[in-house]
Amino acid sequence: MPNTAGRWKRRKEARPKEILAAALDLFTAKGFAASRVDDVAARAGVTKGTVYLYFPTKEDLFKAVVRDALFPVIHATEQRVATAPEDVSAATLLRSVVQVFPQLSATPAGAVIKIIIAEAGNFPDIARFYLDEVIRRERRVLGAIIERGIARGEFRPVDVPSTILCLFGPAALALLWQHTFAPFDDVSLDMATVCATLSDLVIGGLCRLDGDPS
């Protein structure tokens, strides 16, 4: 006889991932407020009760979507910076971190920032969650790289929080543009080129010039 119990177990274990994938697609297409748990359930091929079994509220579901889509990328970036050999320059590390944005833009996860900006006013708990668990982690990574460059004499002394904003702001805007205006724009946007240009501009401003004081 076929092992239906084993197949059922595998199907049950896959359900949370299937629900999260359906929710991300729906949130991306309709936004958080307009998306209904019923629609997520229908897209995932489960009942509404099954969704609530794993995710008690729609807010919990959205937070789980963000964790599933972004946390592996953030964790990998944190590890890359924390374990970088001494001979790797701060500029090289900074470029590698900024190039994460083009990777995200090619996936539905790249639309998360658009959802957050659109819904933050009406759902402040979601905005606080994103600030605490995504933005602050990204700040720490970028801050560690900039401080590494300053300590090693690669970068000029700068205000680190302001420099992080100068990096993060344009990259986030490019993601937002990709998922908002790019489909209607006759000027094509290549995220890899945008982020490489951003890296060049910021690193050019950070690096010491001949004659700069020590």
- pLDDT tens, the chain, 214 aa long: 444 444 445 456 779 999 999 999 999 889 999 999 999 999 999 999 999 999 999 999 999 999 999 999 999 999 999 999 999 999 999 999 999 988 888 787 888 888 998 899 999 999 999 999 999 999 999 999 999 999 999 999 999 999 999 998 999 889 888 888 988 999 988 999 999 999 999 999 999 765 455 4
At 97 the pLDDT is 93
At 108 the pLDDT is 79
Report the C-alpha gap between 101 and 110 in whole angstroms: 8
At 175 the pLDDT is 87
Looking at domain 1-56, its CATH architecture is Orthogonal Bundle (1.10)
User: Which tokens hold the place of 192?
Assistant: 């890899």
At 210 the pLDDT is 52
At 10 the pLDDT is 46
User: Which tokens hold the place of 193?
Assistant: 């080129």
* CATH T-level fold of 62-206: Tetracycline Repressor; domain 2 (1.10.357)
In 3-state terms, the chain is what percent helix, strand and coil (to 5)?
75, 0, 25
Quick check: helix, strand or coil at residue 139?
helix
Report the C-alpha gap between 29 and 139 in whole angstroms: 28
Report the C-alpha gap between 171 and 175 in whole angstroms: 6
Angle at 152 between CA 149 and CA 154, to 5 degrees: 55
At 66 the pLDDT is 93
Closest-CA residue to 144 (of 99, 106, 90): 90
The structure's pTM equals 0.85
Report the C-alpha gap between 42 and 104 in whole angstroms: 26
For the chain, which residues make up each domain, given as ranges?
A: 1-56, 62-206
Report the C-alpha gap between 78 and 74 in whole angstroms: 6
Report the C-alpha gap between 72 and 160 in whole angstroms: 25
